[in-house]
Chains A and B, each alone.
Chain A
Amino acid sequence: MMHETRAPWISTPKRQEYFMLDVQICLTALLIFSCFSYGWRPALLTVFSILAAVGSELLGNALRHQRPTIFDGTAMVTGTVIALLMSPLTPYWVPMMASAFAILVVKIPFGGAGRNVFNPAAAGVALVTQCFPAYVFTYPDATANGSLPLWEIPETIITKASPAAELAAGADATFSFAQVIWGELCGPIGATAIFILIAAAAFLFIRRTASVWTVIPYVCMCTLIAIVFPRGTQGEIMHSIAAELCAGYLLFAGIFLLTDPVTSPKYPPAKVVYGLLAGVTVMLLRHVGRFEEGAAFAILLVNVIAAPLDRGCWYLVGYWQDRQSARKRGGAK
């Protein structure tokens, strides 16, 4: 009897829903942590973003005359990731627009979950970053404001330059170790709780949902570039590393966007090269790019070379096996 399977057809025995459930658990943990700092606004942002993503998916299904694919969880994860990369002050329509773009332009036309070339969440974030940088990069002070109002944002909200913006302006990123622990950095909703991010990474590694082969080279490359080309004025190596890794959503992108099993390569050597190239691109966009954080653009750029890397790796393995078998035959003579 034939088994009916659903996209994405990934070469692991695990099913799609478990991948998405794991990721959703980690994202929810980050969201809850953020709600402690900013009140209910991040949660409401996430709900709106998810609603837009799921609604767009249903619309896309209707346009393609297929059964609803919202229950595989991919649309929900896309919506959540987009919301977590917004600022807590972002108006609600911005993540909704990003989610709709991600699903209707980047995911559905290519054939839905499992066939998309680009990461939908990264594309959605890239769109709103390009179009509304003022909304995306205006962060409230994490400690001074208390819980944010849900609907009308008053003028009196205290905003603060995020560490990424300080680095981009050539100043020193001023934050302490305690701020990192308590998630008091300025930044996107889900990307400031560094310790929860590390715990989420460990959880995803143990569950084999995210690949170590991608994330570790990515972080290593970012660290290396932070050592060789430090920004800021102090010039201390450790400070430069900590500032670069904790600012913006570099780690978040590495853990949740880069390891997307659909758009990343499948062979470990290709994954290593992919992670290294992603690290170079992210840091390059930070140094010379237009925005303070360009990780979403970097992910889209490296998505393009995932398939060629896989194919190159496949040829390499074939060549090596041919050589091995030739050597064996030579030995037998």
Chain B
Amino acid sequence: MKKGYRTRRVFLRAFATENVVLVQGLGMCPIIAAGTTLQKAVALTVCTLAVLLPSSLLMSAIGKKMSPILRAPLYTLLAMALMVGCAWVMTTYISPELYASLYVFLPLMAVNTLFTYHAGGFSVGRQPHLAVTDALGTSCGFGVVICIVAILREIAVYGTVWGKALNIEARFPEAAYPYAAIILLGLMAAFLQQMRLKYAQILEDEEEIIRE
């Protein structure tokens, strides 16, 4: 089996077929609570990537050598330290208002189950390039979902995308409530499930490849 093929499959698995939000149900809290504008969504996605990538690499390098009890505190502490860095970069160089509008949800990302599952689960003892691929796929999968939800909600609530006004008169302020995001996530999950059923045979082959 070609090496590149397997890497691609690992990426696609984390990104689409076993999507971190829609199939595994991880990381839903920031989407529901903070995914109301595209800017917030992109900020959260970038922070996720910036934290998940180093933690996954670290776990793939030394995760197998340490006891499982020590792993969780280690990558949680690392994630928190990196998140402090992200927050500092965001407040100093990008936009303090954006950081303020993200409120508590950016710091909370550091203890998201997404990290537990991917940095502390998949990456442990895998080859570094697979860990990096998985981290990238997870972040992209999370990012795509939160961006779709955020774009739809931003259009519905403010009539803008990335702060730029569209010429839409109709407003639906209630879309900012959590239930709108939950309904959207449910519909997206159903759509993904339909796709999975459609390509079930390909998915089975893929499972075998990853298990090898």
Contact = CB atoms under 8 A, between A and B. Distances in A.
Interface of A: 105, 109, 130-131
Contacts of A109: 186-187, 190
Contacts of B186: 109
B88 interface: no
B183 A105 contact: yes
B187 A131 contact: no
Max chain A CB contacts within 10 Å: which of B172, B174, B190? B174
Given A105-B187, A109-B186, A109-B190, 5 more contacts: A105-B183, A130-B174, A130-B177, A130-B179, A131-B172
Contacts of A105: 183, 187
Nearest to A130: B174
Enumerate the 8 nearest inter-chain pairs by beta-carbon distance, A residue then B residue, closest first: A131-B174, A109-B190, A105-B183, A130-B174, A109-B187, A130-B177, A105-B187, A109-B186
Nearest to B175: A131
Nearest to B174: A131
Interface in B124-182: 172, 174, 177, 179
A109 B188 CA distance: 11
A122 to B, nearest CB: 14
A130 B172 CA distance: 12
A131 B173 CA distance: 8
B9 to A, nearest CB: 30
A291 to B, nearest CB: 14
The interface residues of chain A, by DSSP majority, are classed as: helix
10 contacts: A105-B183, A105-B187, A109-B186, A109-B187, A109-B190, A130-B174, A130-B177, A130-B179, A131-B172, A131-B174
B70 to A, nearest CB: 39
A252 B63 CA distance: 60
Nearest to A110: B190
Interface residues of B, number: 8
A179 B98 CA distance: 56
Nearest to B190: A109
A58 B208 CA distance: 41
Interface in B184-202: 186-187, 190
Contacts of B183: 105
Nearest to B179: A130
A271 to B, nearest CB: 28
A86 to B, nearest CB: 17
B152 to A, nearest CB: 14
Interface in B94-144: none
A131 B183 CA distance: 15
A131 B190 CA distance: 25
Nearest to B187: A109
B202 to A, nearest CB: 22
Contacts of B179: 130
A262 B187 CA distance: 22
Nearest to A104: B187
Contacts of B177: 130
B190 to A, nearest CB: 5
A40 to B, nearest CB: 29
Nearest to B189: A109
A109 B174 CA distance: 22
A271 B44 CA distance: 45
A62 to B, nearest CB: 16
Contacts of B174: 130-131
Interface in B18-44: none
B39 to A, nearest CB: 25
A130 B190 CA distance: 25
A300 to B, nearest CB: 11
Contacts of A130: 174, 177, 179
A131 B176 CA distance: 11
Interface in B54-70: none
Contacts of A131: 172, 174
Contacts of B172: 131
A14 B204 CA distance: 43
B71 to A, nearest CB: 36
A131 B177 CA distance: 10
Contacts of B190: 109
Nearest to B186: A109
A301 to B, nearest CB: 13
A109 B177 CA distance: 22
A105 B187 CA distance: 8
B45 to A, nearest CB: 27
A130 B180 CA distance: 11
A5 B186 CA distance: 29
B15 to A, nearest CB: 24
B192 to A, nearest CB: 13
B104 to A, nearest CB: 24
B203 to A, nearest CB: 22
A131 B186 CA distance: 20
A106 to B, nearest CB: 9
